[in-house]
Amino acid sequence: MLAAERGAAQNTLAAYGADLDDLAAFSASRKVGPSGADAFTLQTYMAGLTQAGLSARTAARRLSALRQFFRFLLREGVRPDDPTMQLESPGLPSSLPKYLTEHEVDALLLAGMARAGQQGLVARMALEILYATGLRVSELLSLRRGALAGDVAVLLVRGKGGKERIVPLSDAAKEAAEAYVKGQADAGGKDGDARNVSPWLFPGRDPRQAMTRQGFALMLKQVAMDAGIDPARVSPHVLRHSFASHMLSRGADLRSLQLLLGHADIATTQIYTHVLAERLQRLVEAHHPLARKLAV
């Protein structure tokens, strides 16, 4: 159902599969199948996650998988009830999205440009596109070579649930793309067109496959070290957060940001309102009559 009806990504399917496999193993130890588990069994299972030292966030994800599983069984008539209705969600600590300063992003982009050869071209274009568009890394790595054909000004992106959206490219990203495409052609001439036959914009070691998330994360951390930034602070999602935070701080509105990020619900975009609150505070301090009088 997740794959056919919701178009869930492969990583999502794998995560839900692992969560349900864990429930199945727990249920089997109590002589019951996972689809036959009652509320007490599920409460015991969830309590065991905490006792095992799993974080509240991991437990919340497991609970989300259970709820969707049992709601599916209820809709399909496999069972007459939803035992997860009696489960309480684990309390999650409120956390603000981690992002880089504009100065740090500039340093990261410069470090990517400074890397030699084809890897430098890949790093530069990937960083420019990520920061210009706020794409998820899965969306970036799934781009086909034809996505940048011609004088392209926008990207057509297929996001979560198979939903498509259009995101504009910055001039810097387009220039990086042109340099990358030219570098691919030059490398192909030297290496027997090995890279040119790849259907992916970012080929992996095997040109028939796209670059892996792990390979991309490693490249990003190497660039972070070159830029003098702690690699632990840098990830594709941190760049997505940086894009959103910097857009808001420079005047973008939440609804436009929701469209650019591909969030189905604006409530998801509202995690960035701390940046909006800081900007409004600065506006008040700079322009409110009483604030100016107090400053004098």
Q: Report pLDDT digits (tens) over 238-266.
A: 999 999 999 988 888 889 999 999 988 88
Q: Which of 281, 233, 214 lies closest to 97 in space, CA to CA?
A: 233
Q: Report pLDDT digits (tens) over 69-127.
A: 999 999 999 999 999 998 888 776 656 678 899 999 999 999 998 988 888 888 989 99
For the domain made up of 102-279, give the CATH fold: hpI Integrase; Chain A (1.10.443)
Annotated catalytic, 293? Answer: no
Q: What is the pLDDT at residue 103?
A: 94
Domain ranges in the chain are 10-86, 102-279
Annotated catalytic, 274? Answer: no
Given 124, 240, 241, 246, the catalytic residue: 240
Q: Report pLDDT digits (tens) over 259-275.
A: 999 988 887 888 887 66
Lowest mean pLDDT among 65-69, 91-95, 143-147, 188-192: 188-192
Q: Which two tokens stand for residue 8?
A: 């869930």
Annotated catalytic, 272? Answer: yes
> Which residues, at least 6 apart from 75, have a Cβ–Cβ distance to it below 8 Å?
none
Q: What φ, ψ does residue 205 adopt, rounded to 5°? A: -60, -40
Q: Which two tokens stand for residue 200?
A: 């992916």
Whether residue 191 has pLDDT greater than 60: no
CA–CA gap between residue 191 and residue 198 (Å, rounded): 13
Three-point CA angle 138, 21, 75, nearest 5°: 85
Q: What is the pLDDT at residue 22?
A: 93
Beta carbons of 135 and 160 less than 8 angstroms apart: no
Q: Which two tokens stand for residue 85?
A: 């209705």
Question: The domain 10-86 is classified under which CATH number: 1.10.150.130, 1.10.1740.10, 3.90.1150.10, 3.40.50.970?
Answer: 1.10.150.130
Q: Which of 173, 258, 54 lies closest to 46 in space, CA to CA?
A: 54
Q: What is the pLDDT at residue 195?
A: 45
Given 136, 174, 195, 241, the catalytic residue: 136
Given 160, 165, 213, 221, the catalytic residue: 160
Q: What is the pLDDT at residue 194?
A: 46
